[in-house]
Structure 1
Amino acid sequence: MKKAAVAWVSVGDGPATALWCVPLEGALFVVSGPGEQSAPGLAEATGARVTLRGDHGGRIVTWPARVTRVTPGTPAWETSAPLVAAKRLNASGPTADLVARWAADGCALTRLVPDGTPAAGAELPDGSLAEVPRDAPVVRTTRKPFRLHRVRRR
C-alpha cells in the first residue's frame, strides 16, 4: 500500500473507479470534488472496497476500507492536507494555495483505512474481469497506406 499512486475504489455495489491517492500514516488519502477527480459517493460513504494493482496491472490485494472525511479546520486537516497537496502532480501554484482552494471549493479529502481482512487468494477470481468494449459510432475503416510511387516486385 505504501507504494500506491492509483487505487481502484468501489463504494457499495457501484463499479470500481481508478483514483489518484497518497499513502500516508497507514491509510490512503483521496481528494475529490470541483477541479479534482470524480469519486462518486466516496465523500458520503462510511465503507468502501479498495483494490491495489502492481506495476504490470495485476491485482495485488483487495481490502475493505473504513472511509472518513477529513474536514477543513480540524487538526487532521492541518496535518494531512498539506502532505497530500505536496504529492499532487500538475498542481498550479504553491501547496498552501492548493490546500486553501480545496477548503474553499468544498473538495473532499477522504481517508481510507483498512477495516478487516484482505481478500485471500482463493477469494479472488482466476479471470481478469475485463469487460468487452462497448460499441461506439466513432469506429472508422482503415484506409490503405499512401504510396508515392509504384513498388516493383522482382
Structure 2
Amino acid sequence: MAGVEPLVEEAAKKAAVAWLAVPGAGPAYLVWCAWLGGSLLVVSGPGEQSAPGLAGAGTVEVSLRGDHGGRIVTWTAAVERMDPAGEAWAELVPQLAGKRLNGGADLATRWATDCVVSRLTPVEDAPLVPMPDDSQAAPPKPSPATRLPKRPFRLHRVRGAK
C-alpha cells in the first residue's frame, strides 16, 4: 500500500457512499460501499444496488465526499470481481455483510449466488484528479412537471406611502 495516497485512504475509511464514473457507462452514479483490506468494496445485483458497467470495467474513477458534503478527492481504481471461492472473499465479505444495517445471517451466501462484489483498489502512483474551478453542477433535465411560477396573490391593494 506504499503507493496509496493518505488522502484517499482516510477519505475512503470514512465513506459510506462513493460516486463511480465507469468509462462508457454514462454519468457518474452513487453507490453504497465500505473500505476493507485496502480496497473499496461494492455489492451490486438483484436485490442490491445497480452499478451499470462496473463488473466488466477495468478501471473506474471514484469520487469521495468530505464531512461538509462536497467532493474532496477523485482517484482511479482498478476493478476486480471477487470470487466467492477465493481467500479474499472469505476474509472480507463477512466483514462487509456485518457493516450492512439491513442484512441477515445469510447475506454473504446470497451475494455469492446472486450478486457481484467488486473490489476497487487504488491504482498505485496514479495522479489524483484535481478539484475543478467550476461547480460541475448539471442543468436540470427538461420535465413536463416544471412550470413558470405565478405572481404572488394579494388580497388588498398595497398603496405607496405619501
TM-score (norm 2): 0.78
Q: Is the 8 A contact 2:37 2:92 kept in 1?
A: no
Q: Following superposition of structure 1 onto structure 2, how do residues 1-154 of structure 1 map, counting pairs within 5 Å? A: 1-13=12-24, 14-91=26-103, 93-94=104-105, 97-105=106-114, 107-115=115-123, 116-119=125-128, 123-139=130-146
AA in 2 matched with 1:38: S
* Aligned length, in residue pairs: 142
Partners of 1:136 and 1:15 lie apart in 2 by 19
Any unmatched runs of 5+ in structure 2? 1-11, 156-162
Q: Deviations over 1:15-60 (max 9, x none)?
A: 1111100001111000000100000010111111111111222111
Q: Deviations over 1:67-121 (max 9, x none)?
A: 1010111111111111111111222x22xx001111121x11011111043425x
AA in 2 matched with 1:88: R
- RMSD over aligned CA atoms reads 2.3
TM-score (norm 1): 0.81
Any unmatched runs of 5+ in structure 1? 144-149
Question: Where in structure 1 do 4 or more consecutive aligned residues deviate above 6 Å?
Answer: 140-143
